[in-house]
Structure formats: C-alpha cells, structure tokens
Structure 1
C-alpha cells in the first residue's frame, strides 16, 4: 500500500494522513486529493473554490528591593526571509466564542506615534502589568527576570527595548492582517511606541500618584483544573538526542466527560520538545497497557500508534500556555478509556536527564458541539525525500492544498466544518508558515517562526467551510549556515533536511480544532478518524 514506503522513524503523522491516502485511492484520483505548489510557482496555493525568585515587590516607590545583576542584551535573531504577500482574510461567522483576554484597542501605526514626557508610573507600568507580568514575575514566572517594579524594569531597560523593537517579546507571531485571535498578547502600536520612546527618553520613574491601574489581564492557563494526570514515575531519558516516549495514564471517570480545556506542566522544561495527548477507547486499552505495564512508557516514534494515534485530545509545544477550548465545545472521553501522553525529549548526548510531566484538564458533563483536533499535512512529504530542504537554501518552501471533499468519502453525513482554533508545527529551521482557506484566503499567517513559542491561536470568530472548500498549508525554512541550530556550543553544518521526527529533521503540520455539521447545518459528531488505521 501507499504507506509501505514511509519509514517507521518518520511516523509523526503516519496514521494521520492515512485517511487522505485511503480516500484518494477509493476515488482513484490521487492527484485530485491535493496539490503541492513548487517553489518556482506562485507562492499562494492553487485556488480551489472556497466557501528567580526575587523579593516580593511593594506597590508604590519600591524602595526596599535590590535589583538583580543586569543580564546582557539578547542577541538579535538571524535575519529571516521576507514574509510572503498575504491574501484576503476569510469572512468570519458569528458564533459565540472565546473570551478575549485583553481589551481590543484599535490604534494608528507605530512609526507615526510620538510621545513626550513619558514616565514609568504614568505610561509604562500599566503596559508591563498587562502584557508582561504574567510571565515576568518576582516568583514563579517563566520569564528569566521579573518586570514587576521600576527597579527591575530600569535594570533591564535595554534588553526590553531590544526585544520589543525586534518583536520577540511579547511572544506573538500571528500576522494581524490575517485575522484576530482572542489570546492575542501582542503590544498595540501605542504600547510599543511608548515603551521604546520611554527608554530613549531616559526611562524616568515619575510620580506614583500618576499611576492608573489597567484592566486585569486574563489568567495565563486554564481558569480551572478539574483533573490532573501525572506520569506514574520519573522517567530517565534513554535515547539521545531524541527520545519519543508514550505513557499510559488512567482515566478515572465512569461517565462520559468532555475535555473543554487542556494544559501541560512539563517536569523538565529544558528537554521537553512537545507533548500530545491521545484517547485510547476501552476496547483498545489492552493493547496499550501491554506496552506500558509498569509506568515506564514505551517507545513511540511518530504518534501513539494504533487507533489512538488519530484521536488527539490536546497538544503542547514550547511556549504554549493552557487554554480552554471554544465555548460549548469539547472532545469526548468515554468511561474505561486511557489517556496516552507522548513526550518528545531532546537531550544532549552527554546529559543525564529525567522528567515527571503532568497534564491538566477542564471537564464538562455535556457540550452543545462535540469537537475534534484535526492534524493535516501533505502525505507525500512523508515518503522518502519528497519534502527536501536543500543545504544552504535560505528560503526553501513547500505548499499543499487539501480539498475537504475527501472527508465526505469518509463520512458522507458531514457536509460542513467549523474551525475555532489553529496552529502550525515546524522545527528549528522554520522561517514562516501559513494556513489558508480555498487557496487564497488567510486563516493563520506566521511571518517569523519561533520554535520556542508554538502557540495555538483561537479565532475571534469561527470560520465555516463546506465540502467544496479546501484547506492549505505553506511552510518556508531557512537552511543557511547562519541559521543552523547550536549543538554543544557549535553551529551545525548545513545539510539537506527532510520530513522526520528528530529535532534536526523538519515538519510542516497544520492542526485545527473543529466541529462538523450535516446538510441542514445541524451539529453532528465528527468522524472517528482512527477507524482508518484498521
């Protein structure tokens, strides 16, 4: 069969794309099942008809704390290829939704904004509180230093200026001209201009009486945790540099539950590359518990293997905070199921590392719309060397367009989809990526890919599609000498790179959170794609 040519070690989505291959063979029109745009053609897909634990700070003058030693300014990132021209964004469909974690503030362009007399208390403290201090806390934050007081901010002002100017902080990659997202943590043009000009004007502290508290930002992570599942024991990494390990975790509930939010608590964040949670149904449990009888996990390059490999429950990559799924939607977990948690560890050959990761869930007894996480890519990229990223190519590009008509062959009752959230996955050579609708409408555009911040983007309004529509994906990579990852203090030598599970291989994977509807537009269950692994 088609997938016989795919090596097992390149199996990240081996079962994911089986459904595409199966339906294409059923229709005997493989080439109608999707097209790849060569680099020499137009950059848009071919169009298909589309519907530190520092002291706790005080509130005002901050006179008692001692700022830590300044850290050197972060180096500016290597230049990336210029982003491609963006198509028109799709027309959204009003349908309830995520609550925005920040107030929308439409403003003018940053370069035209000029401010004078800027001070910390009057102008920038509120910005740091709303956009930075969920991570840059005095205690327990994931940021490398706190930004919770004037003394700290003044200490790191040049590093702040560099990061804000080049757009690396706050870590938000999505192009706003493509769409709007409820979890947008980026600076507005006014906020960015105020921070940069405040530093340039001497970073004055000002008068505490000028301070006006901003609206409280949304909580980082889930608003509540109803269930936490933890690895049964600490796992010591066995394979280096890449170890893919699946752990079988017990699901305790005796009635149907719907997962409406998901987050990961990496036990050893410096080695956890990504985490995917899968559902193994009761009838499938025996085959997985046999692989992991003692809680030590089992090797699982690619997915969890078997039918659970297409039944995604949640996904995490560096920088992804926990979040709730779209209002009134959720992914069903039946009683007697097991949760398979796959962890990809990346460890230096000389390192001795271990990990004890846990995952959190928000649960409901019922939802109005049952959803699935649907991962998609070009199945041909998994075959041999079809997704070549040549050594020293600073702008290698691959695109694929998938007509949704294939889904009708798998599930004839499904006549429509609604997409609520989307994300991209590449590795360290990634430069930019885009998800599109109908070949020329933008769903998600990331003009500057950052491997360390792979966020899932929640659409402000869901987008509805029909079976005549299509979903596209485009990825670009920078495989030049200047952009190579550093290993043991040295940059790797450029080499041809292809699809693979290893950190130094590459991927181009789109993931959407969606629900399904029938011909009357009524919500119906999406097909269980795991049936295609039988």
Structure 2
C-alpha cells in the first residue's frame, strides 16, 4: 500500500483519509512474522487497482518543452520554467480540488500552479502581464520563461493553491472550503525539471493540471509555503548543513500574530499541512504553541521521510490558532554522502525545510 508518512496514532494530530495501519493490522502482521512468515495460498485473480482520477473540472496543459540544466550552485542539474495559461473563466470561482498529471515523471521534480492578476500594478508603471511578457521575450525560441523561485522576478501571485510533488494524487480540500480564483486571473504553472540522471537529457515534457471549481464555499482559505531554511538564502548569510553527518537538524518558527492583524481577525484555522524536503531529509516535525503557557504541542510528525511519497495532509478537525500562537518546524537531515556543506535551495541536490499550510480565517 502507498506509504502514509505522518504519525497518525492520535499523538500528533489526526488526519482524514488516513492510509495508516491500525494497531490490529500491525499486530496481525507481527504475529505472522513471529510464526515464521508462512506462505499462504497463491492467487492469480488480483489486479493492480486503478488510481483515482479527479472527476469533473477543467484540464489545462503546458506546451511540449525540452528542458536544459541551468547550472550553478543551486540548479546544477535543474531548470525552472513557467508557462502562462488562460483558464478563460466566466466569473469568480473557488478551487475545491485539483490533480496534477506530470507528462514525464522522470523529469518533473515538482509543479506549482498559481493564479495571477494580469492587471495588478507591480510598480514602475508595469502590470503583472507586462512583466511576464518581458520575461517571456528573453527566450523567444523557447516556450515560457525562467522562474527560479515562484512565478519569475517581479511577478506577484495571489497565492499558491496547487502544489505537486512525487507521490501525490488527487487533492480535495476539506468540505466547505476553497481558494478564490478571480474571473480575469491567468494561471502560471511552474515546473521544476531535474536532469541529474543522464538518460533524461534531451527528453521532453507536457504536463497537465486538472482543477475543479465551485461557485461558492462556506469558508475561503489561502495557502502558505513557509520555509525558514530556504529563507536564509535571502538574508545575506545563508545557513548550511555540515557534510558527513548522520543527523543534522535545522529549526525555524513562525509567529501567527501578523496574519491575524493583516486579516483583522481573532483566530485562524490550520486545515492542512504539506511537509516537504528533498533527498537528504530524514524527519520533519511541526509543533504549535498557543501562547497560553501550556507549551508546544505536536501537530504533524514524519519519522521516516520519503521524497517519492509526498502528500497534503488535512486534519480531521482544524487547529485553531489565536493571538500569541506560533508554529515551530524542525527538519532532520542525513549528509553522510556529502563532501561539501549542504545549502538551501530548490535544486534536488540542495535542501528545503518547508511546511505548507492551508489556512482558513
């Protein structure tokens, strides 16, 4: 069965649609092993189950593209390319579910899709669309534009509601919630291509994003992708992880008061989390401190990280955070195979310590 990375025994959050084994199931397997793992009767009537696809919605596809490594410390084997798609919406809608279908899984490291207001004034007398067109014109012989980061230098996005990484299937937001997409918004799809394997050089990709919309929802949410390790890249003094260590940790925290003041609300609900690291990750944990003197409480814990099985995990009941609340994230890495320090970055051979959040006022 596909792995379910978060601890889900009630000690650190409780998540819906869990694939975690119950204690009875674990005991059954343990007893079978203790009894000598006796082989049962062979069967030839079993079939591989069909992976669920998103029903309903609209599909948007990127052009056929041949990525090329950008090189450098943070993209030695990687290319980050953005593509502009017009969803041609007739009215404001709410995104309630999505599914990303990578055309060439051997190339695609991750996919982000984000609405962009083309008419938004981003300064200097330019709109988002002006900036995108200028970026696109820099490489007229290739589709899209380089976008190391999010949507490209100078492009301001309305949020990042669609995040895909290996292992993820259909993502359905909790019932009654959604992310607003305005009628005139354009869709920017960022694809991170990784070419560390020589056999994928020269191959192409055309990936698709399927989005299901609703005319209204009970509660409008938004997505954040905070990463305190990655943020040090922009501090002038980037953090790094020493090489040759079986376990090296990085911890960052985030105060919630700024969100409460920005939204002019008394509390904010965390409906889901998206833990993300790269190939050197071992463990990742998030704790929540409500500022009430009770101390930090475990909210999400991955004890055995697997880059190939990444999911958005939605809580059975949201975590309500009020004034004075904070989130702390600790990532644990194994750098034994490295000869040089491990730097933060989006490249496969850099690292991240990201905890995506679905927040609902």
| TM bin (shorter chain) | 0.7 to 0.9
Q: TM-score, structure 2 length as denominator?
A: 0.83
1:69-218 aligned at under 5 Å gives the runs: 132=1, 170-176=2-8, 177-195=11-29, 198=32, 200-205=36-41
Bigger drift between 235-244 and 365-374 goes to: 235-244
Matched, 1:398 2:250: yes
Equivalent positions of 1:358-373 (< 5 A) are: 358-373=208-223
Q: What is the CA-CA distance between 1:196 and the residue it aligns to?
A: 5.8
**Contact 1:421–1:512 (CA under 8 A) maintained in structure 2:** yes
Contact between 2:243 and 2:341, CA under 8 Å: does it hold in 1? yes
Structure 1 residue 334: Cα displacement:
0.8
Aligned to 1:515: 360
Q: Which residue of 2 aligns with 1:235?
A: 65
Shift of 1:318: 0.6
Q: 1:317 corresponds to which residue?
A: 165
Give the direction of change, closer, same or farther, for the CA distance of 1:242–1:276 in structure 2 (3 Å limit).
Answer: same
Structure 2, unpaired ranges of 5+ = 71-76, 120-127, 290-294
Partner of 1:269: 105
CA distance in 1, matches of 2:66, 2:217: 39
The 1:203–1:230 alpha-carbon spacing in structure 2 relative to 1, beyond 3 Å, is: same
Determine helix, strand or coil for the equivalent of 1:191: helix
After superposition, give the CA deviation of every residue in 1:199-222 in whole Å (9 maximum; x if it has no partner): 7443222899xxxxxxxx9x9555
Work out whether residues 222 and 362 of structure 1, in 8 Å CA contact, stay in contact via their aligned partners in 2.
no
Shift of 1:197: 5.1
Deviations 1:249-308 (A, max 9, x none): 111212011100111000001111111111111313343244347781111001113343
Displacement of 1:183 = 2.5
Aligned length: 327
Residue 283 of structure 2 corresponds to residue 432 of structure 1: yes
Displacement after TM superposition at 1:383 (Å): 2.8
Indicate the residue corresponding to 1:499 in structure 2.
Answer: 344
Distance 1:348 1:403 in 2: 37
The verdict on how the C-alpha distance between 1:329 and 1:505 changes in structure 2, with shifts beyond 3 A counting, is: same
2:260–2:267 Cα contact (<8 Å) kept: no
**Bigger radius of gyration, 1 or 2?**
1
Gaps of 5+ in 1: 1-131, 133-169, 209-216, 482-492, 517-534
SS in 1 for 2:161: strand
**Cα deviation, residue 223, structure 1:** 4.7
2:87 is aligned to 251
Q: Paired residue for 1:37?
A: none
- Higher strand content, 1 or 2: 2
- Note the C-alpha offset of 1:322: 1.3
1:418 aligned onto 2:269 = yes
Matched, 1:354 2:186: no
State whether residues 288 and 328 of structure 2, in contact with CA within 8 Å, keep that contact through their aligned partners in structure 1. Answer: yes
Q: Which structure's residues are more often helix, by fraction?
A: 1
- Call closer, same or farther: CA 1:508–1:258 in 2, change over 3 Å: same
For residue 412 of structure 1, report the CA deviation from its aligned partner.
5.4
Q: Deviations over 1:76-97 (max 9, x none)?
A: xxxxxxxxxxxxxxxxxxxxxx
Counterpart of 1:303 (choices 143, 150, 153) is 150
Partner of 2:241: 389
Residue 194 (structure 1) shift: 3.4
